[in-house]
């Protein structure tokens, strides 16, 4: 689950991090009032969406008056912001963060953290090259990224933060300020089960003070049960509608660009099914894992989701019935096809317990269901059916 | 021979009396696995599925002499269960539960490293099976046949696919290990490869990976330098979009890293056999073995 910038900054402020001041506004009037409250000569209006690259996409603007703050906010609210990180539809702008003007700044630094899978440690990354994409820095000038891995046994120690501070060429009082900031960030990370944390840029202001100008936080969805105060901050308007609907039924769904809908049990097999469709010259329309117990209800919901995508011209169902019986799954599929009124060709591959009986039920159902024998046969048949 | 589990493995079920624990313990017992009891705090002294229930793992291990455990408890209690199993002296812990917080796994792994001598499989995995001897997990036992292939996989049903294919071709399996779909697994690809390389009965290895992380790249390097047995690789997720989690917590291309193509390239660089079709895992292995005069 991702947090908005304003939510991330509020959370980090609780851990003593120096964040850029800002006021959230959901109307142009609120933005004007926020401009007055901040009291600066300038202010920065930032669209609150779950995507990076807002600046280049026109989602971050400097304003010089309360009138300008009103106008800019009016022009942003209710629109969808398309950045290099979003799909073609973009993300809806429902609020803006009116921020204090920080400029001029002396330098822009980067500080981020992830759970590194290789080292199995929370790993912090810092760089003097703030304000740009860190992936780009990592690729072009990897020597400019300072890495610190934290042993969960002792947690982050001040010596580790100091080392980064010196490596970033910070001086004097900045060393202590940065150490406090980084220790606070680590504490926030482990207390709140962050999956992703990024301050970019971390500004060194003309007066020498540090300030978090933008903040990105992702929370480990598996840990949300122990963070009710974070769960309620989830903004569903920022999520794909069909993926959201799927999550309500405990189905894993990811929309793709093709025309062959897929319904599979198991995440790995679901990916493999998409891949084999492509290998046979087709294009998968989605990833969908119906989970272990492919019951009638789940299959019905899965069909509804797949068919809600107007580009779907055929459906491939691939179920490896391990412990559940394939004839039961076949019955669930038949009932679902009848209930949802499926009109596109459907190829079904059932493997495992009672697979032959399942295939027989499908052929005798009188419905447009084509049984397939094995993965390759299934992929070949659905690709041919859609092209026909 | 086989790896990690055989007919002498004595297994305790953590979360024994729950719905999943009950269903799958019964299936494992029907397969012939020595399920010697289970733990459900507060229900100690009771009998469940004809086996004793204990309040604590310590008591259960002392009484039954178990050396393995399988975890079915809900995700919030997994870390607790792993620590309890380690402290009780269990050598092999198989965690089936899905949805364990990543930071809990960091701690669990750290604890296991500190203690030493413990193997954790999972979480979010189908478990481990040595056909005909011992099944600890949720996989359908009947698709397996005793044979010569070791199988390692991050996915459940995709493992069954590889199992069914190798069974159909008469190759069979020595042991199949589902290492799980989480970003921080217990046993990883390299660890599992090491076990199969040292197992005299395993003649060849199928390694199934998927997008996310760099475990397959590390495995490819390890195979090139250390594994003398034939290996066939497969990676799922060629068509997966960047930045989207594909069902498994660990199956995500983040920051442009962890793509299927990178992993296939690593296989190529290591001179490994591989297939891009999930339908041809078994046949690719068969051809490889034939080319080496092993089948």
Domain annotation covers residue B49 = yes
Asked if A281 has any chain B CB less than 8 Å from its own CB, the reply is no
Q: How much is the pLDDT for A372?
A: 92
Whether residue A245 is found in the same domain as residue A316 = yes
> Domain holding B259: CATH number?
3.40.50.261
Ranking A265-279, A321-335, B116-130, B272-286 by mean pLDDT, the lowest is A321-335
Pair type for strands B127-130 and B146-153: unpaired
User: In which order are the strands placed within the sheet that holds B273-274?
Assistant: B134-137, B127-130, B173-178, B146-153, B204-210, B231-236, B273-274
Q: Is the pLDDT of residue A295 over 80?
A: no
Asked if A268 and B208 come within 8 Å (Cβ–Cβ), the reply is yes
Whether residue B21 is found in the same domain as residue B115 = yes
Q: Is A286 annotated as a binding residue?
A: no
Whether residue A114 is found in the same domain as residue A81 = no
Q: Which domain holds residue A86?
A: 21-101
Q: Is B166 annotated as a binding residue?
A: no
Using 50, 70 and 90 to split pLDDT, how confident is the model at B1? low
Tell which of B102, B113, B152 to mutate to test the A interface (max A CBs under 10 Å). B102
What is the mean pLDDT of the segment spanning A168-179?
Answer: 97
Q: How much is the pLDDT for A327?
A: 87
> Domain holding A171: CATH number?
3.30.470.20
Whether residue B151 is found in the same domain as residue B115 = no
Whether residue A252 is found in the same domain as residue A163 = no
Asked if A117 has any chain B CB less than 8 Å from its own CB, the reply is yes
Of A71, A101, A131, the residue at which a domain comes to its end is: A101
Backbone angles phi, psi at A105, to 5 degrees: -110, 155
Q: How much is the pLDDT for A299?
A: 85
> Domain holding A305: CATH number?
3.40.50.261
SS3 for chain A, per residue?
CECCHHHHHHHHHHCCCCECCEEEECCHHHHHHHHHHHCCCCEEEEECCCCCCCCCCCCEEEECCHHHHHHHHHHHCCCEECCCCCCCCCEECCCEEEEECCCCEEEEEEEEEEEECCCCEEEEEEECCCCCCHHHHHHHCHHHEEEEEECCCCCCCHHHHHHHHHHCCCCCHHHHHHHHHHHHHHHHHHHCCEEEEEEEEEEEECCCCEEECCEEEEECHHHHHHCHHHHCCCCHHHCCHHHHHHHHCCCEEEECCCCEEEEECCHHHHHHHHHHHHHCCCCECEEEECCCCCCHHHHHHHHHHHHCCCCCCEEEEEEEECCCCHHHHHHHHHHHHHHHCCCCCEEEEEEECCHHHHHHHHHHCCCCEEEECCHHHHHHHHHHHHHC
Whether residue B231 is found in the same domain as residue B179 = yes
Q: Is the pLDDT of residue A143 over 80?
A: yes
Using 50, 70 and 90 to split pLDDT, how confident is the model at A382? very high
Whether residue A173 is found in the same domain as residue A216 = yes
Whether residue B152 is found in the same domain as residue B278 = yes
Total count of domains within chain A:
3
What is the mean pLDDT of the segment spanning B234-243?
Answer: 94
Q: Which domain holds residue B77?
A: 11-121
Q: Is B17 annotated as a binding residue?
A: yes
Asked if A223 and B103 come within 8 Å (Cβ–Cβ), the reply is yes
Q: Is B229 annotated as a binding residue?
A: no
Which amino acids of A are annotated catalytic?
Answer: 110, 198
Q: Distance between CA atoms of B261 and B240, rounded to whole angstroms?
A: 11
Whether residue A193 is found in the same domain as residue A61 = no
Whether residue A234 is found in the same domain as residue A245 = no
Residue A374 has its nearest CB partner, among B138, B246, B279, at: B279
Asked if B138 has any chain A CB less than 8 Å from its own CB, the reply is yes
Backbone angles phi, psi at B208, to 5 degrees: -110, 125
Asked if B106 and A115 come within 8 Å (Cβ–Cβ), the reply is yes
Using 50, 70 and 90 to split pLDDT, how confident is the model at A269? very high
CA of A244: how far to CAs of A25, A235, A253, B159, B276, in Å?
26, 11, 9, 29, 31
Domain annotation covers residue B1 = no
Closest Cα in chain B, distance from residue A366 (Å): 29
Domain annotation covers residue B128 = no
Q: Distance between CA atoms of B227 and B216, rounded to whole angstroms?
A: 14
Whether residue B90 is found in the same domain as residue B158 = no
Share of chain A above pLDDT 90, in %: 72
Whether residue A212 is found in the same domain as residue A301 = no
Q: How much is the pLDDT for B188?
A: 95
Using 50, 70 and 90 to split pLDDT, how confident is the model at B47? very high
Chain B contacts in chain A segment 143-162 (CB below 8 A): 151-153
Asked if A287 has any chain B CB less than 8 Å from its own CB, the reply is yes
Q: Which residue of A has its CA nearest to B108?
A: A152
Whether residue A245 is found in the same domain as residue A336 = yes
What is the mean pLDDT of the segment spanning A31-41?
Answer: 95
Asked if B210 and A222 come within 8 Å (Cβ–Cβ), the reply is no
B295 C-beta neighbours (distance < 10 Å), count: 17
Asked if B248 has any chain A CB less than 8 Å from its own CB, the reply is yes
Query: Within 13 Å of residue B180, how many CA atoms lie on the same side as its CB?
Result: 24
State the pTM of this model: 0.94
Whether residue B236 is found in the same domain as residue B158 = yes
> Domain holding A37: CATH number?
3.30.1490.20
Whether omega before A317 lies within 30 degrees of 0, making that bond cis, reads no
Better-predicted residue by pLDDT, B245 or B256: B245
How many Cβ pairs within 8 Å bridge chains A and B? Answer: 182
Q: What is the ipTM of this complex?
A: 0.94
Using 50, 70 and 90 to split pLDDT, how confident is the model at A104? confident
Q: How much is the pLDDT for A286?
A: 96
DSSP type of residue B3: S
pLDDT tens profile A202-237: 999 999 999 999 999 999 999 999 999 999 999 999
Q: Is the pLDDT of residue A324 over 90?
A: no
Total count of domains within chain B:
2
Domain annotation covers residue B92 = yes
Placement of tokens 């979360």 in the chain: B15
Q: How much is the pLDDT for B57?
A: 98
Pair type for strands A252-255 and A286-289: antiparallel
Whether residue B111 is found in the same domain as residue B187 = no
Domain annotation covers residue B194 = yes
Q: Distance between CA atoms of A24 and A34, rounded to whole angstroms?
A: 8
Placement of tokens 């969960």 in the chain: A152
* Average pLDDT taken over every residue of chain A: 93
Whether residue B147 is found in the same domain as residue B288 = yes
Angle at B122 between CA B96 and CA B229, to 5 degrees: 125
Q: Is the pLDDT of residue A119 over 80?
A: yes
Whether residue A11 is found in the same domain as residue A32 = no
Residue A376 has its nearest CB partner, among B208, B244, B277, at: B277
Q: Is the pLDDT of residue A294 over 70?
A: no
Closest Cα in chain B, distance from residue A186 (Å): 12
Whether residue B258 is found in the same domain as residue B181 = yes
SS3 for B179-228, per residue?
CCCCCCCCCCHHHHHHHHHCCCCCCEEEEEEECCCCHHHHHHHHHHHHCC
Domain annotation covers residue B132 = no
Asked if B186 has any chain A CB less than 8 Å from its own CB, the reply is no
Whether residue A69 is found in the same domain as residue A196 = no
What is the mean pLDDT of the segment spanning B74-92?
Answer: 98
Whether residue A12 is found in the same domain as residue A145 = yes
Of A239, A274, A289, the residue at which a domain comes to its end is: A239
Q: Which residue of B has its CA nearest to A266?
A: B157
Q: How much is the pLDDT for A352?
A: 82
Closest Cα in chain A, distance from residue B165 (Å): 10
Whether residue B95 is found in the same domain as residue B188 = no
Asked if A138 has any chain B CB less than 8 Å from its own CB, the reply is yes
Whether residue A249 is found in the same domain as residue A372 = yes
Q: Is the pLDDT of residue B87 over 70?
A: yes
Whether residue B106 is found in the same domain as residue B178 = no
Q: Which residue of B has its CA nearest to A155?
A: B107
Whether residue B182 is found in the same domain as residue B288 = yes
What is the mean pLDDT of the segment spanning B203-223?
Answer: 96
Share of chain B above pLDDT 90, in %: 93
Buried b (16+ CB within 10 A) or exposed e, B111-134: bbeeeeebbbbbbbbbbbbbbbbb
Q: How much is the pLDDT for B253?
A: 86
Q: How many helices (H) and strands (E) does chain B have?
A: 9, 14
Q: Which residue of A has its CA nearest to B28?
A: A323
Backbone angles phi, psi at B82, to 5 degrees: -65, -45
Using 50, 70 and 90 to split pLDDT, how confident is the model at A248? confident
Better-predicted residue by pLDDT, A46 or A294: A46
Closest Cα in chain B, distance from residue A65 (Å): 38
Contacts A223 to B, Cβ<8 Å = 101-104
Of A239, A264, A293, the residue at which a domain comes to its end is: A239
């Amino acid at each position: 689950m991702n947090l908005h910038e304003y939510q991330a900054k509020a959370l980090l402020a609780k851990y003593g991090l120096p964040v850029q001041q800002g006021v959230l506004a959901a109307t142009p009037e609120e933005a004007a009032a926020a401009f007055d409250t901040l009291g600066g000569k300038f202010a920065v209006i930032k669209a609150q969406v779950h995507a990076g690259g807002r600046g280049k996409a026109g989602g971050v603007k400097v304003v010089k008056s309360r009138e300008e703050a009103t106008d800019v906010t009016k022009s942003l609210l209710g629109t969808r912001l398309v950045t290099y990180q979003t799909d073609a539809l973009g993300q809806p702008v429902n609020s803006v963060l009116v921020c204090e003007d920080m400029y001029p700044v002396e330098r822009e630094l980067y500080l981020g953290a992830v759970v590194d899978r290789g080292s199995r440690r929370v790993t912090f990354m810092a760089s003097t090259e703030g304000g740009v994409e860190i992936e780009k820095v990592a690729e072009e000038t990897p020597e400019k990224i300072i890495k610190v891995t934290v042993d969960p046994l002792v947690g982050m120690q001040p010596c580790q933060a100091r080392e980064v501070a010196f490596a970033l060429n910070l001086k004097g009082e900045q060393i202590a300020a940065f150490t406090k900031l980084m220790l606070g960030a680590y504490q926030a990370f482990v207390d709140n089960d962050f999956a992703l944390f990024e301050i970019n840029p971390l500004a060194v202001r003309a007066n020498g003070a540090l300030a978090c100008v933008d903040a990105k936080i992702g929370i480990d969805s598996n840990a949300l049960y122990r963070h009710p105060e974070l769960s309620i901050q989830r903004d569903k308007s920022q999520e794909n509608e069909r993926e959201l609907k799927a999550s309500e039924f405990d189905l894993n769904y990811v929309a793709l660009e093709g025309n062959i809908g897929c319904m599979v049990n198991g995440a790995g097999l679901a990916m493999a099914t998409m891949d084999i469709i492509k290998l046979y010259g087709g294009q998968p329309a989605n990833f969908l894992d119906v989970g272990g117990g492919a019951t009638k209800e789940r299959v019905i919901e899965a069909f509804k989701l797949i068919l809600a995508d107007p580009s779907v011209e055929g459906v491939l169902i691939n179920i490896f019935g391990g412990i559940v019986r394939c004839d039961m799954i076949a019955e669930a599929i038949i009932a679902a096809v009848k209930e949802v009124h499926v009109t596109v060709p459907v190829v079904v591959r059932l493997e495992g317990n009672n697979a032959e009986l399942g295939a027989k039920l499908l052929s005798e159902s009188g419905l447009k269901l084509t049984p397939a024998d094995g993965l390759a046969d299934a992929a070949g048949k659905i690709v041919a059916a859609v092209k026909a | 021979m086989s790896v990690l589990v055989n007919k002498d493995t004595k297994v305790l079920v953590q979360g024994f009396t729950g719905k999943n624990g009950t269903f799958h313990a019964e299936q494992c017992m029907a397969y012939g696995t020595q399920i010697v009891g289970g733990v459900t705090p507060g229900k100690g002294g009771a009998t469940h599925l004809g086996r004793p229930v204990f309040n604590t793992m310590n008591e259960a291990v002392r009484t039954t002499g178990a050396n393995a455990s399988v975890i079915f408890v809900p995700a919030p209690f997994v870390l607790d269960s792993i620590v309890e199993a380690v402290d009780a002296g269990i050598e092999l812990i198989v965690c089936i539960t899905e949805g364990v917080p990543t930071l809990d796994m960091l701690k669990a792994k750290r604890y296991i490293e500190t203690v030493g001598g413990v193997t954790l499989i999972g979480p979010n995995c189908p478990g481990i099976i040595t056909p005909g001897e011992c099944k600890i997990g949720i996989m359908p036992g009947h698709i397996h046949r005793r044979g010569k292939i070791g199988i390692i996989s991050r996915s459940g049903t995709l493992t069954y696919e590889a199992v069914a294919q190798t069974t159909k071709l008469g190759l069979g399996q020595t042991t199949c290990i589902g290492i799980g779909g989480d970003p921080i697994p217990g046993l990883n690809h390299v660890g599992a490869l090491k076990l199969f390389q040292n197992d005299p009965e395993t003649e060849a290895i199928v390694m199934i990976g998927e997008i996310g992380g760099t475990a397959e790249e590390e495995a490819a390097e390890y195979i090139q330098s250390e594994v003398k047995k034939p290996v066939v690789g497969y990676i799922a997720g060629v068509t997966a979009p960047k930045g989207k989690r594909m069902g498994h917590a660990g199956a995500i291309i983040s920051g442009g890293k962890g793509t299927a193509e990178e992993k296939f390239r690593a296989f190529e660089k290591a001179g490994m056999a591989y297939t891009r079709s999930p339908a041809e895992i078994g046949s690719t292995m068969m051809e490889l073995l034939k080319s080496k005069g092993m089948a």
